[in-house]
Chain A
């Protein structure tokens, strides 16, 4: 296998970073790498989510499984998740998920005592670990009145109804269950390269130019009001829908514009559930991807080395 090296050195340029949103460019690499990152971000970066619910009293209108399911889907702050253990291969406990290395305990106790409907929300969950709490969506920077925002509603109680439960949150990955997925959306697009054939474009009347510009549902092209020239307004708004190409064809001017997808440059959009920061999600994804690649490299040497991977074995075997 000696010979040409396929090694490449991808570059990343971050465009926007917010807590739960990130947009960046990934250049000089292949679609396989870009897609691997996307897949890992969605389904293999670990987070913490409620996995076991012990219901003591439930006289609400929702049944026990329904409430347990809703609790599971509440995003919990999971900065700790990378360092935690999966409860199934935790040495400190029998995998019952009650030790500090692999689990976090929550308590919820709510009873409605008056005639007003009581909203039981994620804020009513009391965590045994202050680093793992339900995600707070109140954005202090936004101008909205935050007094209304009381977290994610779990159930509504009427007078006399009561809910008491104990929940255990564990580390997991999105492949096992979507509740452990830290990503709301991860997507990438190939960066488009758009060339306008200026010569041909000048043969169009202003009317035709307008028609051409408006043929794209997204605003890719625009007309300079002074020079009346068509220019590329926002190349990335192009969705590869070929509408403008079809329009050019229909106007009898094929080759009016040429659009290519750059095969080695991608624009990523990452949105998280709030469990981890978008930037952290990306870093964790690279970390997980590296671990997976290490596992592949090791298994290339010894096929039977499967057992020694420990935590990685889970990743390799698909959770």
Chain B
């Protein structure tokens, strides 16, 4: 048997490798010197004296079985990602050894982590580069979590999510911004316990929380299930106060095009002075004015119909006018205005808070200061109480460390560095330092006469007696999250109903209800609460009394007969009590008012009958008298 293909000679390793610069072939290099060349190139790259740019990407792809096509790929173009690592082939005393590497070359490089280990590296491929610090694997957000190496990993992930939802100090030029919605903390603080990255990224310019004195104890029962009790006096004094800045843009040109070129401009009515205390002569609100829900905040004058329309505030709480900006392109008739409102948002029950360790909680009470437990020595009352059950299953040890460290830091008047993995870096420098982190923090407390473990004897604020346990208490940096009840609460007693089904409408903004769905129905059925179920789904929803013709069984063919007696009744005398006039109904199909019955039913049922009738399906009701059927 002869092979169908000619026998191919296995090619040996290539003698030369292609060299490409920014995607163009510029030549070739002998494969036995390429590695030396790469090392030399990297040396030239970091030294300032040569013309080789320091962000040059030296992508050397070595020959491999089934791997990428070998070659030396160099890149110098602009806007490539680069990151700094140490080139350990260059001794630091010789020259700068920080090299910028790119994503292409990184995969073919041997970069070790400076944690003291070799990362399972084989001797044939020794590390050529080293990370500057182990925190290089962390993002900006993850880098802000103190001692994240002491936390359970999912908790760090939760914190990375929540760090982006904080109500912080998001911008410095608040006064000249027109964001749709902007959350702003009134009095933020710098954390006592912070990582090196916090300073590196200048987060102090944009702080996002408050150092709150946190006591970990079950007190009052209002701290169960991740609820937390806030000290009312602390809130009174301004803890976690914030604002929501919201900008409304009113563009009249946009509306004018739609409504047939009618000329409109800002202006108020001189006849109707009812809103003059809110709106100035230019049709725009006064800056600093407080506006309640449904009050007008700007008025628009239509020059053709000479009618004045007002824009009303759609909010659930009073707001303040923070800033009014107008577009003066058209100087005579101002067509565009930005009105910025300020919603004061003091912490209230239902607002969300979180520490920097994925420990979020909801404020359940603003507890009076006097009822809070207090320390007999310092007289301190906690700002915040959280439940000890928040710790065992979540294993956020760093939060406990933070509390101890912040307490020590506050007592000594300095910040505490909480960079993760710093202990692995330390070992390399001085082998002698053997004391653990806890020892370091604990001795800080003992030096100031506090308990080594950060616990204190507290007294009940209500009874004045010593609490049975020593309480873990200390400052923890707490963030206020932007999920607030005032944006979320939904309540309805009666209100608008749907036109078609006569059931309550949905939607929080329109004052709708919350759906009582199938699962809720099942639950009530399982409890045997059928009367309640009837009340929810029928009486409080689309209860309807329909007239049904018992002769033809139709509920659509009934019609109201105009009562001719009405006029007569009125003539007879007004002294008669306005008795409930019996409704006269008749069936149009049967041409009689005999056999008309009233039946209570959900209105949707009638709607169903109408929909079926539209499809030429007749629905017939057979009426019977209760159990006698």
> Does A313 sit within 8 A of B, measured CB to CB?
no
Cβ-defined partner of A189 (8 Å) among B342, B376, B451: B376
Stretch at the interface among A137-145, A237-245, A287-295: A237-245
Q: How far is the CA of A55 from the CA of B461 in the complex (A)?
A: 39
Q: From DSSP, what is the main secondary structure of chain A's interface residues?
A: mixed
Cβ-defined partner of B449 (8 Å) among A64, A69, A179, A218: A218
Contact A179 B236 (CB under 8 A): yes
Q: How far is the CA of A179 from the CA of B233 in the complex (A)?
A: 8
**Chain A residues with CB under 8 A of B243:** 63
* A31 and B376 in contact, given A63-B320, A63-B342, A217-B452 (Cβ under 8 angstroms): no
Contact B175 A188 (CB under 8 A): no
**Chain B residues with CB under 8 A of A63:** 243, 320, 322, 342
Stretch at the interface among B268-276, B296-304, B366-374, B523-531: B366-374
**Chain B residues with CB under 8 A of A237:** 449
Q: Which of A187-225 contact B (CB under 8 A)?
A: 187-190, 217-219
Contact A190 B466 (CB under 8 A): yes
Distance in angstroms from B239 CB to nearest chain A CB is 10
A227-241: CB near B (< 8 Å → 1, else 0) gives 000000000010111
> Does B446 sit within 8 A of A, measured CB to CB?
yes
Q: Which of A23-64 contact B (CB under 8 A)?
A: 31-32, 34-36, 38-39, 42-43, 55, 58, 61, 63-64
Q: How far is the CA of A73 from the CA of B241 in the complex (A)?
A: 14
Cβ-defined partner of A188 (8 Å) among B322, B376, B445, B450: B376
Stretch at the interface among A79-87, A119-127, A170-178: A170-178
Contact B449 A187 (CB under 8 A): no
Q: How far is the CA of A34 from the CA of B377 in the complex (A)?
A: 15
Distance in angstroms from B241 CB to nearest chain A CB is 8
Cβ-defined partner of A186 (8 Å) among B379, B446, B465, B470: B379
Number of B interface residues at 8 Å Cβ cutoff, please give it.
Answer: 43
Cβ-defined partner of B288 (8 Å) among A58, A61, A73: A58
Contact B376 A239 (CB under 8 A): yes
**Number of A-B contacts defined by CB within 8 Å:** 98
Q: How far is the CA of A174 from the CA of B377 in the complex (A)?
A: 22
Contact A43 B457 (CB under 8 A): no
> Does B329 sit within 8 A of A, measured CB to CB?
no
**Chain B residues with CB under 8 A of A187:** 374-379
Contact A190 B322 (CB under 8 A): no
- Using CB atoms, name the residue of chain A closest to B231: A178
Contact A31 B370 (CB under 8 A): no
Contact B237 A239 (CB under 8 A): no
Q: How far is the CA of A186 from the CA of B288 in the complex (A)?
A: 39
Contact B449 A43 (CB under 8 A): no
* A31 and B379 in contact, given A65-B344, A241-B470 (Cβ under 8 angstroms): no
Number of A interface residues at 8 Å Cβ cutoff, please give it.
Answer: 41
Cβ-defined partner of A31 (8 Å) among B452, B461, B463: B463
> Does B232 sit within 8 A of A, measured CB to CB?
yes
**Chain B residues with CB under 8 A of A36:** 464
Contact A217 B450 (CB under 8 A): yes
Q: Which of B405-451 contact A (CB under 8 A)?
A: 445-446, 448-451
**Chain A residues with CB under 8 A of B238:** 69, 73
**Chain B residues with CB under 8 A of A240:** 376, 457, 466
**Chain B residues with CB under 8 A of A98:** none
Q: Which of B349-408 contact A (CB under 8 A)?
A: 368-370, 374-380
> Does A103 sit within 8 A of B, measured CB to CB?
no
- Using CB atoms, name the residue of chain A closest to B457: A240
> Does B253 sit within 8 A of A, measured CB to CB?
no
**Chain A residues with CB under 8 A of B256:** none
**Chain B residues with CB under 8 A of A241:** 451, 455-457, 470
Contact A178 B233 (CB under 8 A): yes
Q: How far is the CA of A178 from the CA of B368 in the complex (A)?
A: 10
Cβ-defined partner of B369 (8 Å) among A178, A188, A190: A178
Distance in angstroms from B101 CB to nearest chain A CB is 44
Cβ-defined partner of A178 (8 Å) among B237, B379, B452, B464: B237
Contact B464 A181 (CB under 8 A): no
> Does A251 sit within 8 A of B, measured CB to CB?
no
B175, B236, B368 interface centre (most CB from chain A within 10 Å): B236
- Using CB atoms, name the residue of chain B closest to A237: B449
Cβ-defined partner of B237 (8 Å) among A32, A73, A175, A189: A73
**Chain B residues with CB under 8 A of A66:** 186
Distance in angstroms from B598 CB to nearest chain A CB is 51
- Using CB atoms, name the residue of chain B closest to A239: B377
* A64 and B288 in contact, given A31-B465, A35-B464, A178-B233 (Cβ under 8 angstroms): yes
B463-496: CB near A (< 8 Å → 1, else 0) gives 1111000100000000000000000000000000
Distance in angstroms from B246 CB to nearest chain A CB is 14
Contact B466 A178 (CB under 8 A): no
* A43 and B464 in contact, given A66-B186, A69-B238, A185-B378 (Cβ under 8 angstroms): no
* A32 and B464 in contact, given A64-B320, A218-B449, A241-B451 (Cβ under 8 angstroms): yes
Cβ-defined partner of B233 (8 Å) among A174, A186, A188, A190: A174
Distance in angstroms from A29 CB to nearest chain B CB is 11
Contact A217 B446 (CB under 8 A): yes
Cβ-defined partner of B445 (8 Å) among A31, A35, A217: A217
Contact A178 B236 (CB under 8 A): yes
**Chain A residues with CB under 8 A of B456:** 239, 241
- Using CB atoms, name the residue of chain A closest to B235: A178
Q: How far is the CA of A243 from the CA of B377 in the complex (A)?
A: 15
Q: How far is the CA of A39 from the CA of B462 in the complex (A)?
A: 9
> Does A17 sit within 8 A of B, measured CB to CB?
no
Q: How far is the CA of A218 from the CA of B236 in the complex (A)?
A: 34
Contact B374 A177 (CB under 8 A): no
* A261 and B320 in contact, given A178-B236, A189-B376, A217-B446 (Cβ under 8 angstroms): no
- Using CB atoms, name the residue of chain A closest to B342: A63
Contact B175 A61 (CB under 8 A): yes
Distance in angstroms from B407 CB to nearest chain A CB is 13
Contact B464 A34 (CB under 8 A): yes
Q: How far is the CA of A175 from the CA of B376 in the complex (A)?
A: 21
Q: How far is the CA of A239 from the CA of B320 in the complex (A)?
A: 49
**Chain A residues with CB under 8 A of B449:** 217-219, 237, 239
- Give 10 closest A-B pairs by Cβ, nearest first: A35-B464, A187-B379, A178-B236, A185-B379, A178-B233, A189-B376, A39-B370, A218-B449, A31-B464, A240-B457
